[in-house]
Chains A and B, each alone.
Chain A
Amino acid sequence: MSVAALAEATGEGFGPILRARERTAAGLAERRARLDRVRLDPDAAVVLLGSWGRHEVTSASDDDAIVLFCGERRDFTRPGPGEVAAVLGGPAPGPEGLFGATAWLADLTDRVGLDGDTNVNLTRRMLFLLESVAVAGDQAHARARRELLGLYLAPHERDYRPPRFFLNDLVRYWRTIAVDFEGKHRARAGEGWGLRHAKLRFSRKALFAGGLLPVLECHTLPADAMSAFLGGRLAEPPLDRIAAAFLTHGMPDAGARALRAYGDFLQLLDDPRQRGELSRLSEADADGSEVFARVRERGDELQAALLALLFEVPELERLVRDYLVF
């Protein structure tokens, strides 16, 4: 676990991150046990996304679940999303219909780009790859990730060069998140602005960086080794991938500060008073909020560390220049 390695290298404890991981592990074990009595089709997986996939569950985390089917599309499938929701006891699906639903792997692999690749489809594809964990149907989940990675790597033939198809979709997703932030702000008349803003600065950014760094690191590999490398890396929580990059590139100090800032964010999410204040905070009131000031400051610290990694490590800076802008 690279967070642990960074902790050992710097003497930092990263308490909030470790506590969130313990809570995640306990929650996953409990949910696995509950789902054990649910009948699954052989090609089905029950997958938790979001904070579960990042191993950052706090006291207020939702069970963002999807039932994924990897085989032929058909009318009758088991389990149904309602049955899973009842067993997990999770909340109703969000307004975007992203979670609490059934998904088909064929949609994720066949509808890439163009009109058929809806916002929900793109989001599911990225979340499956970057932050998902199976609580039932491990084999189907693993198959889905393999096929998704295969989709991105199939056209990639060059050795020692980051896979551009994957990189482009990843960057597109990050920019989509940022643009959708504004879209949600308008659609929901500002409701929930503060919490969404905080998540954009931390968890969404970690999601993007946690995908970007392994993709860039593919430049050290021949093309036929990239699938195994990315499969292994993406099976780790995003913070482990980020911590590993800081260690690999000789920046443990900056990495430690980045993870301290991130831990502060998790602590804030775990505190009902502060989370509540952020949930109710409007953009107009943000300048008067001490909680938001802290979010902004710590978010800037996380970003500064990531930017230092990307732009002040010559190896990465060259890759950013070659692949990330055009």
Chain B
Amino acid sequence: MIAVPLSAVAGHHPMGASTGALGRGDDWPALVRSACGVSTHAVELAAHDAAELPGLVAYLRGRPRLPFRHVSVHTPVKGVAAPEAERVAALLRLPPGVRTLIAHPDLVGDPEPYRVLGRRLVFENMDDRKAGGRTADELAPLFEALPEAGFCLDVAHAHTLDPSMALADELLDRFRGRLREVHLSSIRGGAHTTLTAGDEARFGPLLARCRDVPWILEARPPARWSQAEPGAGRRLPLVRTPLAA
């Protein structure tokens, strides 16, 4: 657990982990137990590959006794060859307890089939390696077509495009009312990595605008969040290691 606030960022209570940052495979009970080691408030169940989705659906339809107050699913971004209507139909099999379906905007060709997902559908902004869905202007047409859809601010994605974070601020200015979740990590070499101290400080003012929504860690929590700070005068509990499977 992130039990003691060490900084304004680490002290944010509605925090959780993406299972994609904790392990791979389809042992969902084990992934969930690992996520509980970070936080029992929120979780993002990552079915990044389309082949992982049926197993996740089966797991969730088995009504596992999850402790989380916020459960989101990262919808597949790999192996998504099926027509969009079929992709949406697969997502509709997820039980209503999953309130948020994180999707990549650049994978949406025709928004119409997605309309049925209503407020559950949440688009995250893309990073500098993608061709679309990165900026407010690029996302705006999708939100116009899907007025119920929400927004997930991926802070690190925005940072790859604009280290000044002005882009991230603009995304919040434009889609403030749609914000449902934040993705939090650093990005190094094109991959999500543990939030660096520099990025934590850099992202702080932006994250302060998002304190009412869950922040999902897309990499393991920084060790410094569980260590005594110099001069703090007290020893803080370690982030609990993942529970045994």
Contacts and interface: CB of A to CB of B under 8 A. Distances in A.
A12 interface: yes
B242 interface: no
B13 A257 contact: no
A256 to B, nearest CB: 6
A294 interface: yes
Contacts of A287: 96
Interface string A263-290: 0000000000000000000000001000
Nearest to A260: B177
Interface stretch (B26-34, B45-53, B189-197, B206-214): B206-214
A215 interface: no
Contacts of A30: none
B119 A257 contact: no
B177 A311 contact: no
B102 interface: no
B179 interface: yes
B176 A10 contact: yes
B119 A301 contact: no
B177 A254 contact: no
Interface string A293-305: 1100100110011
Binding site secondary structure of chain A? helix
B177 A256 contact: yes
The 10 closest A-B pairs by CB, nearest first: A254-B212, A308-B212, A305-B212, A308-B211, A253-B209, A304-B212, A312-B211, A260-B177, A253-B176, A256-B176
20 contacts: A10-B176, A11-B173, A12-B177, A250-B208, A251-B208, A251-B211, A253-B179, A254-B210, A256-B176, A256-B177, A257-B213, A293-B96, A297-B99, A297-B119, A300-B69, A301-B212, A304-B213, A308-B211, A311-B13, A312-B13
A212 interface: no
B12 interface: yes
Interface residues of B, number: 20
Contact of B212 (A10, A12, A257): A257
A258 interface: yes
Contacts of A301: 212
Given A10-B176, A297-B119, A258 B212 contact: yes
Contacts of B96: 287, 293
Interface of A: 10-12, 250-251, 253-254, 256-258, 260, 287, 293-294, 297, 300-301, 304-305, 307-308, 311-312
Interface string B14-37: 100000000000000000000000
B176 A257 contact: yes
Given A253-B209, A254-B211, A304 B177 contact: no
Interface of B: 8, 11-14, 69, 96, 99, 119, 172-173, 176-177, 179, 208-213
B69 to A, nearest CB: 8
B177 A257 contact: yes
Contacts of B11: 312
Contacts of A10: 176
Contacts of B172: 253
B3 to A, nearest CB: 14
A101 B37 CA distance: 55
Given A287-B96, A304-B14, 13 more contacts: A10-B176, A11-B176, A253-B172, A253-B179, A256-B177, A257-B176, A260-B177, A301-B212, A305-B212, A307-B212, A308-B14, A308-B211, A312-B11
B209 to A, nearest CB: 4
B118 to A, nearest CB: 8
Nearest to A302: B212
A246 to B, nearest CB: 10
Contacts of B177: 12, 256-257, 260
B56 to A, nearest CB: 20
Contacts of A311: 13
A201 to B, nearest CB: 14
Nearest to A296: B99
A250 B8 CA distance: 14
Contacts of A305: 212
Nearest to B99: A297
Nearest to A258: B212
B179 A257 contact: yes
B119 A294 contact: yes
A260 B119 CA distance: 14
A308 B208 CA distance: 10
Contacts of A294: 119
B176 A312 contact: no
Contacts of B213: 257, 304
Nearest to A264: B119
A311 B176 CA distance: 21
Nearest to B173: A11
Nearest to A301: B212
B150 to A, nearest CB: 10
A304 B70 CA distance: 11
| Residue from B13, B119, B211 having most chain A Cβ neighbours under 10 A | B211
